[in-house]
Amino acid sequence: MQLIHSVSELRARLANEKAVAFVPTMGNLHEGHIELVRIAREQGTCTKGTQSANQQTGGGDVCVVVSIFVNPLQFGPNEDFDKYPRTLEADCDKLQGLADVVFAPSVADMYPEQQTIYVEPPPIANELCGEFRPGHFRGMATVVLKLFNLVQPQVAIFGKKDYQQLAIIRQMVTQFNLPIAIVGAETSRAADGLALSSRNQYLSPEERTEAAFLSRTLCGMGDALKRGGADILALERGAGAALAKRGWQVEYISVRRQSDLGVPPQGERKLVIVAAARLGKTRLIDNIEVCL
Ligand code: PAF
């Protein structure tokens, strides 16, 4: 495994690679990230029709690239950019034998001059997380496009935990005609159901125990939807109230359409329940897909 910091070195290293699978991260890797890297290596099922990512990249000798970059552009002024855990050495240890290249650029490398050109994401970027993190998806999509330009992968793997991020990236790739297959990987969870996240380490021991209630709530909502006849609005309000009663500050809990996170029309069968809520100072997000 090779650790590369500069754009020029990365370009030279990848110049002759015919098949590149890419996992963009902000580091502080946990088992969820490692699973994405394993999927990159295996060239799992591609989201585009029946064509597998394996076919896209041409087979076994894929070069797996993991980027580690805490992107200032996607953090708001009152967010945790400064305190976001930077653990490059430990991350590289975890990636030994799994990744071929770790790309960990400096801010100056990624932003050689002030970024004045941005990816303007679709209106869905202003809802859900976007309502509470203005500009986040613009900064995220901009850095992902830059990383795609640098790495030029045939396939890129993103976790479904960041469902809205994944939906926006899919639209960006389609609308900018990028020749990249986007693979959405299932959320990795702790034994009690809590979605793995770098931010879980901010939780106190008591908060960590309580945190599993978020995924339990979503599962309960999913069961109610599957039983049929549920009033979606009442379900969303009930779940929000249950969380609030236990001390959560709920940002949103919403039943949406899987394809584009729009409000589901009557009869929509592919749903996703998305949520964001704060426990103490920690903001947690989660979602579950529900197919009726
Ligand atoms: O999901 C993340 O870790 C980040 O949003 C990403 C995709 C690496 C872009 O900075």
Distance 228 CA to ligand 1 centre (A): 36
Q: Say yes or no: domain 198-291 is CATH 3.30.1300.10.
A: yes
pLDDT digits (tens, 9 = 90+) for 203-224: 999 999 999 999 999 999 999 9
Fold equal for 2-185 and 198-291: no
CB of 144 shorter than 6 A to ligand 1: yes
Domain boundaries, the chain: 2-185, 198-291
Please tell me the predicted confidence (pLDDT) of residue 60: 59
CB of 24 shorter than 6 A to ligand 1: yes
Task: Tell me which DSSP letter residue 266 carries.
Answer: T
Which of 22, 25, 35 maximizes ligand 1 atoms within 8 Å of its Cβ, making it the mutation to test the pocket?
Answer: 25
The arithmetic mean of pLDDT across residues 158-185, rounded, is: 98
CB of 159 shorter than 6 A to ligand 1: no
For 86-153, give the DSSP string. Answer: --HHHHHHHHTTT-SEEE---HHHH-SS---------GGGGSTHHHHSTTHHHHHHHHHHHHHHHH--
CB of 43 shorter than 6 A to ligand 1: no
Q: Say yes or no: domain 2-185 is CATH 3.60.20.10.
A: no
Identify the bridge partners of residue 270 per DSSP, sorted by sequence position: 291
pLDDT digits (tens, 9 = 90+) for 119-167: 999 999 999 999 999 999 999 999 999 999 999 999 999 999 999 999 9
Residue 258 C-alpha from the chain's centroid: 15
Residues annotated as catalytic (active site), given as ranges: 33
pTM: 0.94
